Structure 1
């Protein structure tokens, strides 16, 4: 997979991700739910922290603002690290599956960091009675303090009940799948999933490069025999 194709993929994911977030943010009130199918709904929420809504200040004795700043700075360093990783494997002509996976991870990480860095500057607050405005006069935050917009929810099982015989959980209700996520999260999860499932192909050489190497070896061996 070439550098150009990788950039096109990253650009496409970023456009779809940011378009979906801006559309939801400027057309939905906070917590608004629209059922598309019985197993899929648009559910607008915002995540001020890390994965699953976790916050650093839940674990460390720091303010919520400081925790958000630390998390965003960490994400920025991670973006540079993933970007170098992607550049390096393209330069080394790694397998297309490997480059595809890292491209997806990079695009997803970059999509969410855009929210964290800029959304606090360009949107006002989303509430249960107010739809946010893009490029608002009174933004809800500052640079590095934006909230990540999530909207994709797949409640495949709703309000099911655990059997009574199951220890601790017996009799309580549960739903599957609870998390609400976005296009960027989907790209990251897909990239990681491909690396896990196709790890042998991912970390092997591309077929084209392998053929070139084999061809060079045969020619080199032939010249030695002569």
Structure 2
């Protein structure tokens, strides 16, 4: 199968999953409120205290980037996101010679585009995955954020992996 056809299939599956999850949460889960100070905080409890970890689905709106950064500059944030996506797409399509970087770059692009679609549809990003690790409440995130994070970590691993020596 052609490399680009694989990209398109993976992209569409992931982007549809991201949009569908956000749509469901936006329309069927109440916004997280501190009126509910205990697990699952008004959301949907998935598991609690499994090896000290809790996981729930909560509806939170984020007007900025990660952890609300740049929330006061939505137009600049939108432009930065677009430039990053365009740059990564051009790099992936024209300049990437290492196929090991294909999927990590595709994850980053897909995640970034998923958050841009949110911004266009809702003027904010819908976050929903809430983890508590041994009493620490990790910042709530969405599938697009997870794709970006996994893509970046995977990309770093490909940069630092040992290259086989040619004899």
Question: CA 1:56–1:185 in structure 2 vs 1: closer, same or farther (change >3 Å)?
Answer: closer
SS state at 1:198 partner = helix
**Alignment check: 8 A CA contact 1:72 1:117 kept:** no
Structure 1 position 97, deviation (Å): 2.0
RMSD of Structure 2 on Structure 1 (CA): 2.3
Residue 55 (structure 1) aligned with residue 70 (structure 2): yes
TM-score, normalized by length of structure 1? 0.61
What is aligned with 1:157?
A: 134
Matches within 5 A, 1:70-109: 70-89=76-95, 94-109=97-112
What is aligned with 2:24?
A: 23
Q: Distance in 2 between matches of 1:199 and 1:95?
A: 10
What is aligned with 2:39?
A: none
**Alignment check: 8 A CA contact 2:30 2:43 kept:** no
**Which of 140, 147, 151 is the matching residue for 1:191?**
151
What is aligned with 1:110?
A: 113
- Stretch of structure 1 that moved more, 35-44 or 12-21: 35-44
Q: Distance in 2 between matches of 1:201 and 1:12?
A: 29
SS state at 1:11 partner = helix
Please list every run of at least 4 consecutive aligned residues from structure 1 whose deviation after the TM superposition is greater than 4 angstroms: none
SS state at 2:31 partner = coil
Larger Rg: 1
**Alignment check: 8 A CA contact 1:33 1:44 kept:** yes
Structure 2: where are the runs of 5+ without partners? 33-41, 49-53
SS state at 2:138 partner = coil
